[in-house]
Structure 1
Amino acid sequence: MATSNKKIECDFLIIGSGISGLTFALKIATKFEKAKVVIVTKDEKSESNTKYAQGGIATVYNNNKDSFEQHIQDTLIAGDGLCDPEVVKMVIKDAPERLVELINWGVKFDKNKTGNYDLGREGGHSQNRILHHADITGLEIERSLLAQVEQKQNIDFLTHHYAIDVITEHQVKKEKTKRNSKISCFGAYVLDEKNEIVKTFVSKFTLLASGGNGQVYETTTNPIIATGDGLAIAYRAKAEISEVEFIQFHPTALYNPGEYPAFLISEAVRGFGAKLRDYNGNFFMHNYDKREELASRDIVARAIDNELKKSGKPHVYLDCKYLDFDKFKAHFPNITEKCASLGIDVRKDYIPVVPASHYICGGVNVNKNAKTSIKKLYACGEVTRTGLHGGNRLASNSLLEGLVYAHKAFLNISKKFEKAKMPNDIPEWNDIGVKKNTEKILITHDRNEVKKIMSNYVGIVRSNERLKRAENRLKILYEDTKVLYNNSELSVDLCELRNLITTAYLITQFSKNRKENSGGFYNLDLK
Structure 2
Amino acid sequence: MSRPAVDYDVIIVGSGAAGLTAALVLAERARVLVLAKGALDAGSTAWAQGGIAAVLDAGDTFADHIEDTMTAGADLNRQKTVEFVVEQAPQAIERLSRLGVPFNSDGTQLHLTREGGHSHRRIVHVDDATGWAIQSALLNAARANPNITLRSGMVAIDLIGDRHRISPEGGQKIWGVYALDTASDSSTTGRVQALTARATILATGGAGRTYQFSTAPRGATGDGIAMAWRAGCRISNMEFMQFHPTCLYNTEVKNFLITEAVRGEGGILTLPPDAGAEAGRRFMPDFDDRLELAPRDVVARAIDHEIKRLGLDYVHLDISHRPPSFVQEHFPTICERLLALGIDMTREPIPVVPAQHYTCGGVRVDLAGRADLPGLYAIGECSDTGLHGANRLASNSLLECFVFGDAAARAILARLEDMAPPPPVHPWDESRVSAADEEVVIKQNWTEIRRFMWNYVGIVRTDKRMERAANRIRLLTGEVQEYYGNFHVSQDLIELRNLLQTADLIVRSARRRKESRGLHFNADYPLLNEIARDTILVP
Q: Does residue 65 of structure 1 match 2:63?
A: no
Shift of 1:424: 1.5
For residue 69 of structure 2, what is the aligned residue in structure 1? 75
Q: Deviations over 1:133-181 (max 9, x none)?
A: 011000000000111111111211000011111111333379899xxxx
CA distance in 2, matches of 1:217, 1:170: 34
Q: Which among 178, 187, 195 is matched to residue 176 of structure 2? A: 187
Q: Deviations over 1:286-314 (max 9, x none)?
A: 01000000000000000000001101111
- Gap change, CA 1:461 and 1:135, over 3 Å in 2: same
For residue 316 of structure 1, what is the aligned residue in structure 2? 315
Matched residue of 1:186: which SS? strand
CA distance in 1, matches of 2:485, 2:169: 18
Q: Is the 8 A contact 2:380 2:401 kept in 1?
A: yes
Q: Percent identity?
A: 42
Q: Is the 8 A contact 1:7 1:199 kept in 2?
A: no
Shift of 1:4: 11
CA distance in 1, matches of 2:505, 2:193: 28
Task: Please give the residue correspondences for 1:395-414 in structure 2 after superposition, counting only pairs within 5 Å.
Answer: 395-414=394-413
TM-score, normalised by the number of residues in structure 1? 0.96
Task: Please give the residue correspondences for 1:497-512 in structure 2 after superposition, counting only pairs within 5 Å.
Answer: 497-512=496-511
Matched residue of 1:93: which SS? helix
For residue 12 of structure 1, what is the aligned residue in structure 2? 10
For residue 116 of structure 2, what is the aligned residue in structure 1? 123
Q: Over aligned residue pairs, what C-alpha RMSD do you find?
A: 1.6
For residue 78 of structure 2, what is the aligned residue in structure 1? 84
CA distance in 2, matches of 1:153, 1:86: 36
Q: Is the 8 A contact 1:4 1:429 kept in 2?
A: no
Residue identity opposite 2:327 in structure 1: F
Q: Which among 198, 202, 205 is matched to residue 204 of structure 1? A: 198
Matched residue of 2:406: which SS? helix
- Gap change, CA 1:87 and 1:402, over 3 Å in 2: same
Runs of at least 4 residues off by over 6 Å: 173-177
Residue identity opposite 1:397 in structure 2: N
Matched residue of 1:252: which SS? strand
For residue 142 of structure 1, what is the aligned residue in structure 2? 135
For residue 384 of structure 1, what is the aligned residue in structure 2? 383
Residue identity opposite 1:151 in structure 2: A
Residue identity opposite 2:411 in structure 1: N
For residue 24 of structure 1, what is the aligned residue in structure 2? 22
CA distance in 2, matches of 1:471, 1:226: 21
Q: Is the 8 A contact 2:198 2:419 kept in 1?
A: yes
Q: How many residues are matched?
A: 515
Residue identity opposite 1:511 in structure 2: A
- Gap change, CA 1:54 and 1:359, over 3 Å in 2: same
- Gap change, CA 1:7 and 1:403, over 3 Å in 2: same
Matched residue of 1:482: which SS? helix
Q: Is the 8 A contact 1:4 1:199 kept in 2?
A: no
Q: Does residue 49 of structure 1 match 2:44?
A: yes
CA distance in 1, matches of 2:166, 2:115: 50
Q: Is the 8 A contact 1:276 1:317 kept in 2?
A: yes
Q: Which among 200, 209, 215 is matched to residue 221 of structure 1? A: 215
For residue 537 of structure 2, what is the aligned residue in structure 1? none
Unaligned runs of 5+ in 2: 273-278, 528-539
Task: Please give the residue correspondences for 1:271-350 in structure 2 after superposition, counting only pairs within 5 Å.
Answer: 271-279=264-272, 280-350=279-349
Q: Deviations over 1:251-272 (max 9, x none)?
A: 0000011323x10000000000
Q: Does residue 461 of structure 1 match 2:460?
A: yes
Q: Is the 8 A contact 2:391 2:518 kept in 1?
A: yes
CA distance in 2, matches of 1:516, 1:204: 42
For residue 482 of structure 1, what is the aligned residue in structure 2? 481
Q: Is the 8 A contact 1:5 1:198 kept in 2?
A: no
Q: Is the 8 A contact 2:165 2:423 kept in 1?
A: no
TM-score, normalised by the number of residues in structure 2? 0.93
Residue identity opposite 1:106 in structure 2: G
Q: Is the 8 A contact 1:321 1:350 kept in 2?
A: yes
Q: Which among 148, 151, 156 is matched to residue 155 of structure 1? A: 148
Q: Is the 8 A contact 1:316 1:354 kept in 2?
A: yes
Unaligned runs of 5+ in 1: none
Q: Deviations over 1:415-438 (max 9, x none)?
A: 110121212231111111101002
For residue 530 of structure 2, what is the aligned residue in structure 1? none
Shift of 1:389: 0.3
